[in-house]
Amino acid sequence: MTTKLSIPAEIEQEIIYPDTDGLPLPDGLEQEPYFVDVLDTLKAFLEGLDVLVSGNTLIYYVEGNPSLSVAPDCYIVFGIGRVALLELNRTYRVCEAGKFPDFVLEIGSPSTAENDLGPKRELYARLGALEYWRYDPTGGEHYGEPLVGEYLVEGEYRRFEMMSDVDGLPRAHSPLLNLDLRWEEGRLRFYDPATGRWLENNVESLARAEVAEARVEAAEALAEGEREARIAAEARMAEMETELRRLRGE
C-alpha cells in the first residue's frame, strides 16, 4: 500500500510571483532616456483615465506558473486601474486583470532586438496585444527601420501604414491611443490630432510652466514699474502746480 504525502492546502496553493527577475533594464544606459521619455509622455496624456500605463514590470500570463513572464518596455491596458493591480501586487497578472495589455511598445537595443522581432512578437500576438510597436532610437540599427506599428487581425499582426512627413521622417497612427507616433532624430514623439499639438514629457512641461511663470513675472514687473512711474509723474505734476500757485501768489 502506498501512502500519499498530504500537503496542507494553504501551502499547496501558495504561489510566489516575484516582482523582479533580478536583472537591470537591458542595455540600460542606451535605453533608459528613451524609456523614461515615452512613459512620462504617455502617463501625462492618459492621467486621470481608467488606464494603466507601465513598463519594464513583469507580466505573468499563465495562472499558477510564475516561470512564464514577459516585461515589455512600455504597455497600456484600458479599463484597468493602477491601484488595483501594480500598486498592490507590483506585477501584472493576466489571470487577475482578465486580459493581456492592449498596447505594447518595445525599444530597440543590441541585446533585445532579435527577441523583439521574433519570439516576443509571436508571444504578444498569441496573448492578444491589439497593437505592437517597435521603436528604434538609432533609426534602424537594431530593427532595420526607425518605427513600425502592427495591429492584430485573427491572431496575426499586420503593419500600419507608415507615412512620411514633409521632412521625410516616419509617422503612423495608433487607433488605440488616437495618437500619431513619429520618429524624430532618435526620439519618439506623440501627436494628438484632437488638439493639434505634440505631447510633452515632464521636462518639457516643466520648462513650459517656467517660461509661462517668467512671462507673468515680467508682466507684473512691467505693470509695477509703470505704476511707480505714474505715481512719480503725478507727484511731480502736483509739485509743479504748487510752485505755479506760489509764483502766482495764490
**Which domain does 204 fall in, by range?**
200-250
Say how far apart CA 28 and CA 83 lie, in whole Å: 27
- 149 and 91 share a domain? yes
- 215 and 186 share a domain? no
Say how far apart CA 148 and CA 135 lie, in whole Å: 7
Q: Is residue 241 part of a domain?
A: yes
Measured distance between the N- and C-terminal CA atoms of the chain, rounded to whole angstroms: 132
- 193 and 208 share a domain? no
- 95 and 211 share a domain? no
Q: Is residue 2 part of a domain?
A: no
Check if the beta carbon of residue 33 is closer than 8 Å to that of residue 119. no
Residue 90 CB contacts under 8 Å (≥ 6 apart), including other chains: 19, 57
Q: What is the 3-state secondary structure (H, E, C) of the chain?
A: CCCCCCCCHHHHCCCCCCCCCCCCCCCHHHHHHHHHHHHHHHHHHHCCCCEEEECCCCEECCCCCCCCEECCCEEEEECCCCCCCHHHHCCEEHHHHCCCCCEEEEECCCCCHHHHHCHHHHHHHHHCCCEEEEECCCCCCCCCCCEEEEEEECCEEEECCCEECCCCCEEEEECCCCEEEEEECCEEEEEECCCCEECCCHHHHHHHHHHHHHHHHHHHHHHHHHHHHHHHHHHHHHHHHHHHHHHHCC
CATH at 52:
3.90.1570.10
- 69 and 188 share a domain? yes
- 134 and 224 share a domain? no
Environment class of 1 (CB within 10 Å of its CB; exposed 0-12, middle 13-18, buried 19+): exposed
Cell numbers linked to 244: 505755479
- 103 and 216 share a domain? no
Where is the domain boundary, 199, 220, 239? 199
Check if the beta carbon of residue 130 is closer than 8 Å to that of residue 176. yes
pLDDT (tens digit, 0 to 9) for every residue of the chain, 250 residues total? 443 444 444 444 567 766 665 455 556 667 889 999 999 999 999 998 989 999 988 999 999 998 999 999 999 999 886 655 555 567 899 988 889 999 999 999 999 999 999 999 999 999 999 999 999 999 999 999 999 999 999 999 999 999 999 899 999 999 999 999 999 999 999 999 999 999 998 777 666 655 555 566 666 666 676 777 778 777 877 777 776 666 555 5
Nearest CA to 34 out of 121, 118, 113, 106 is that of: 106
Name the domain count of the chain: 2
- 140 and 243 share a domain? no
Cell numbers linked to 128: 492578444
Q: Is residue 84 part of a domain?
A: yes
- 209 and 195 share a domain? no
- 99 and 184 share a domain? yes
Q: Is residue 96 part of a domain?
A: yes
- 166 and 243 share a domain? no
pTM of the predicted model as reported, rounded to 2 decimal places: 0.76
- 43 and 147 share a domain? yes
